[in-house]
Structure 1
Amino acid sequence: MPVQRVRNVGTEPAIFTAGRVVGRFVSGRPMDGVPRSNATFTQRGTKSLIPHRDRPSRWMQLPGWQRAAWRAGFTVPTLTTPVGLWVAPIATYTADGALTAGLTAWGTWRTRRAMQLRKLNKEWVKPLHYALHSVIGQEYGIRPSDYLRVPLDLWTNEETAMRVDLPAGFNGDGKLRDSVERIISEKLALPDLRLSWNLAGGEPHIIVRQAPRPPDKAKFLDYLPLIDAAPDSAPLLGIGHHGSPVSVDLDTESPHILVSMSTGGGKSVLLKTIAIQALRRGGFVVICDRKRVSHKWTHGIPGIEYNRDIAEIHNATLRVAAEGERRFAVIQQAIEQGIDLETLDLGPRIFLLMEEMNATVKKLESHWAKVRPNGAQRQSPAIEALGEILFMGREAKIHVIAVGQLMTAKALGGPEMRECFSTRILARYSRNAWKMLVPEVWPPPKAFRKSGRVQVVLAGEAHETQVLFATDQEAREWVLSGPTITRAVPVTVPTAPADGEPLSEPVSVPTSQDGSYLGNSPGTVPGDVPAAFIGYTDRPPGMVRPNLHVIKGGTGFPESMGDDELIGLREACQVLIPNVSLESARAARKRDDEFPNPVTKGSGGEHLFRKTDLIRWARNRKRATG
């Protein structure tokens, strides 16, 4: 037990007592003379000198000069103000007003900073402290702020640095240093760091900086060599740390991509980047866009099918699923005949771009409820077809890019369908959205407000990426200047099995021979129902083979022209598309690149068109109102 000195203050002159009190007050020492920490006049206290306390109070942790400054700051104005009001009131009011304004501004800044630091400490600094302090050998009871200096802009400014103070006797080997680097990287969600170890002298420490971040803007045309060098199955998405290219191999890593971004995050820019690379390499792009105008650059580009109306989206999803079934039948035949699958030409890659999935899935369900005949299944065949595409996409070279603001399991038709997306791209995400979609990467990296700055998450790792940006004009010129846009596809449609059994369970879908409208949604016309959902032996008479086709100027999947009913333009404007006048149709045929080509000529030299093509054009045609 320490020996306490007892001083008889009754015999000590009062002037000595007053001098001792003033000295303690000015020097910042405790007024009773009993130290509570190891703080000095210039050094901050780190240990408590009271046996039953683990750490000193915040006041006793302050160095002596700071405690003295706080005392003087409150005492001097309090004592001098009454005298000043008596001697010089105007000057006193002015000085007190300036002092009050300054203290108010300083207090506001301190309060705001304290709130920011509180959030920083709770989310980042304390978790790092709990994992790191015992590894580097810091003493028990030390506070995170005593040895961790984490700036607020560490995640956004690569010029800033973080400092980690080490114990005086620290002399870690290479393995320990690797552990420290791994802990800092994982706890701060910074995948690429540069650590500078300074162990000389009595204050060893680590300086932590980020590696060079992705560029603020990645222009598409500036990275053409990287784009041309990328394989057919791995389109370049953007640029990451150190200027490294970021891509996802759709054949070996992830056949489908999930994109979750709020408004303004760059969804359309990302889809444009993927689509133009697919088109340049001879791929086929099917866009389902309820907003109708998300991709203006696609107008007149061959190799693209743009579906805007919900009935068109419904039918397009079924056709893509049917094409997948056809390709699997071709693969099966090749296996049975001993053909090397590496040399088998299934056709071009198909990219199904599903915009605004949160609203589209609801609309598909509502559309099917309106047109569903009695006795048919309750689940929308389009949602079922989307699930089939997700489960079979890799071998059939069919890839889904699903986009939404918050990609819940319901927005994709179920949790099992969402699990088909191995690659997930997020931007402007909330903490809850990150936890729902990629809980294996924790804590979540800071979200950026910058458009096009995304996190590409694959195999449990997040890669900060700046998405490639191309203007609409650049995208069109680059695609149209390519050597191939879409390739003709040798189609081998499988025949029905010998026993006459259908390839799948039949589903009745309403058809409309004259293109009439059912309620507010166009009816499903012949040719839009795929064999994936109707057996070949149960097809309605006159139904054409389920094949994709492209807009004017493209060469897509060959179609059987004899099964679809043909019609002249005058008759079509009277009975098939009565909302379009003959003059408007003739003018559109000259000006509109999406107007269908005539199939043949009838009696008298009149051009004949497919009914399905005219209905599609009338449904999606551009109007002056946008």
Structure 2
Amino acid sequence: MKKTVLPTMLSFYAPDLREQIEALPEGTALIGISASGQAIAVDLDAEAPHVLVCTSSGGGSTTVLRSLTAQFLHQGAHALVLDPKRISHLWAKGLPTATHRGNVAGIHDALVGLGEELARRLDLADSELDAAPRLIVSVDSALAALRQLTRYWETFRSKDDPHTSPAVAALEAALWTGRAARVHVILDGTPAPGVLGAAPHELFGTVILARVTASTWQRLAPFTGPAPKPSRHSSRGHVIQQGESHETQAIWMTDADVVTWLTDPDDPQS
């Protein structure tokens, strides 16, 4: 396979890139451009309808979550953006079809509401479900969020309440039954088997890895060979789909880029 020289940054303003993004079918979003010059995209209607992003610090996970979520919002989806750091996804605040939650109580209540919405959608007729907007659940720093939710639940649950936090249970339910309800999870972090109850490749059709350890690579991409040498470039990693790994430079979209594009898509500067 012929390799090309990847740019050190793939801006939303790169020539023809925005047009390429906007031409994609509903449910498909561009991750970036591979070392072979191929456009690497995620298709939420493919076999496993969720995305896992796992990087070390500076690997670009927040950038990927922002870019993918923004593209689905542009296509008419709604989004629940869970931001335990409280400042990583401020772009989502104020957007009419996005709900941003940062503190643990807000994240807990939002996920409990997600569980209720999931159950409601699963009871809809096919025609009614097709008319419902696709729902994206974008979870940044998922391990920290899950730990916070578990501690939060322990502070007030009674002895008759379930041991597992209902918020964590709702997220797990979304991962297992989301396809049937047009609910899709974009999760940042290494999934904990005790929470998800399955190997990552069973739940995530697309896995994006950057600057991870060899052991993490083997656990999350067990069929793709040894871990590659980490890139020094931000937002560059490997996209694993259908057992194949593609070195990819992810799209760079700033908070301002996203807000302008979603609120004034005809603005030539967006």
* TM superposition score normalised by structure 1: 0.41
Q: Output the CA distance in 2 between the equivalents of 1:295 and 1:473.
A: 11
Match of 1:601 in 2: none
Per-residue CA distance 1:377-396 (angstroms, 9 max, x = gap):
11111111111111111121
In structure 2, what is the equivalent of residue 225 of structure 1?
Answer: 19
**Whole-angstrom distance in 1 between the partners of 2:36 and 2:7:** 9
- Partner deviation per Cα, 1:28-71 (whole Å, 9 max, x = no partner): xxxxxxxxxxxxxxxxxxxxxxxxxxxxxxxxxxxxxxxxxxxx
Structure 2: stretches of 5+ with no match in the other structure: none
Q: Distance in 2 between matches of 1:366 and 1:237?
A: 34
Structure (1 or 2) with the larger CA radius of gyration:
1
* 2:75 equivalent in structure 1: 281
Asked if residue 364 in structure 1 is aligned to residue 149 in structure 2, the reply is yes
Alignment of 1:22-37 (within 5 A): none
Query: In 2, distance between residues paired with 1:437 and 1:403?
Result: 13
| Counterpart-to-counterpart distance in 2, 1:462 and 1:408 | 22
| Residue equivalent to 2:118 | 324
Measured against aligned partners, the alpha-carbon deviations of 1:50-107 in whole angstroms (never above 9, x if no partner) come to: xxxxxxxxxxxxxxxxxxxxxxxxxxxxxxxxxxxxxxxxxxxxxxxxxxxxxxxxxx
1:310-459 superposed matches below 5 A: 310-331=104-125, 334=126, 341=127, 345-404=130-189, 406-410=190-194, 413-416=195-198, 418=200, 419-459=202-242
Question: For residues 519-554 of structure 1, what are the alpha-carbon distances to aligned partners after superposition, in whole Å with 9 as ceiling and x for unaligned?
Answer: xxxxxxxxxxxxxxxxxxxxxxxxxxxxxxxxxxxx
SS at match of 2:120: helix
Q: Distance in 2 between matches of 1:459 and 1:301?
A: 34
Q: 1:473 to 1:434 in 2, by over 3 A?
A: same
| Conservation of the 8 A alpha-carbon contact between 1:240 and 1:246 | yes
Q: CA deviation at 1:472?
A: 2.1
Contact preservation (8 Å) 1:330, 1:346: no
Q: Secondary structure at the match of 1:306?
A: strand
CA contact 2:29–2:42 (8 Å) conserved in 1: yes
Aligned counterpart, 1:464 = 247
- Partner Cα distance (1:346, 1:221) in 2: 32
Whether the aligned pair in 2 keeps the contact of 1:456 and 1:463 (CA below 8 Å) is: yes
Contact (CA 8 Å) 2:50, 2:185: kept in 1 or not? yes
Q: Structure 2 matches for 1:529-544, cutoff 5 A? A: none
Q: 1:478 corresponds to which letter in structure 2?
A: W
Following superposition, the deviation at residue 467 of structure 1 comes to 0.6
Name the count of aligned residue pairs: 263
Pairwise CA distance, 1:330: 0.8
1:460 and 1:264 map into 2 onto residues whose CA distance is 25
**Equivalent AA in structure 1 for residue 56 of structure 2:** S
Q: Name the structure 2 match of 1:199.
A: none
User: How far 1:371 sits from its partner (Å)?
Assistant: 1.4
**d(CA) in 2 for partners of 1:460 and 1:317?**
31
Residue 417 of structure 1: how far off its partner (Å):
6.9
- Of 257, 260, 267, the residue aligned with 1:477 is 260
Question: Offset at 1:213?
Answer: 3.7
Q: Is the 8 A contact 1:214 1:464 kept in 2?
A: no
Structure 1 residue ranges without an equivalent (≥5): 1-191, 194-210, 335-340, 484-626
What is the aligned counterpart of 2:50 among 249, 252, 256?
256
Q: Distance in 1 between matches of 2:99 and 2:130?
A: 21
Residues 1:417 and 1:361: Cα distance change in structure 2 (over 3 Å): farther
TM-superposed CA distance for 1:408, in Å, is 3.8
CA contact (8 A) 2:118 2:178 kept: yes
Shift of 1:307: 0.8
SS of structure 2 residue aligned to 1:377: coil
Q: Does 1:294 align with 2:88?
A: yes
Alignment of 1:597-616 (within 5 A): none
Q: Confirm or deny that 1:305 pairs with 2:92.
A: no
Q: Does residue 1:270 correspond to 2:64, yes or no? A: yes
1:216 aligns with 2:29: no
Query: 4+ residue stretches of structure 1 with deviation over 4 A?
Result: none
Cα distance in 1 between the residues matched to 2:93 and 2:150: 29
Change (3 A) 1:376 1:415: closer
Q: Provide closer, same or farther for how the CA distance between residues 345 and 459 of structure 1 changes in structure 2, counting only shifts above 3 A.
A: closer
**In the alignment, what sits opposite 1:513?**
none
CA distance in 1, matches of 2:186, 2:265: 23
TM-score normalised by length of structure 2: 0.91
Instruction: Please list the CA deviations of residues 575-603 of structure 1 after superposition, one character each: whole Å capped at 9, or x if unmatched.
Output: xxxxxxxxxxxxxxxxxxxxxxxxxxxxx
Deviations 1:161-191 (A, max 9, x none): xxxxxxxxxxxxxxxxxxxxxxxxxxxxxxx
Q: Which has the higher contact order (CA 8 A, sep 6+)?
A: 2
The CA RMSD measured in Å over matched residues stands at: 1.8
**Which residue type is aligned with residue 163 of structure 2?**
R
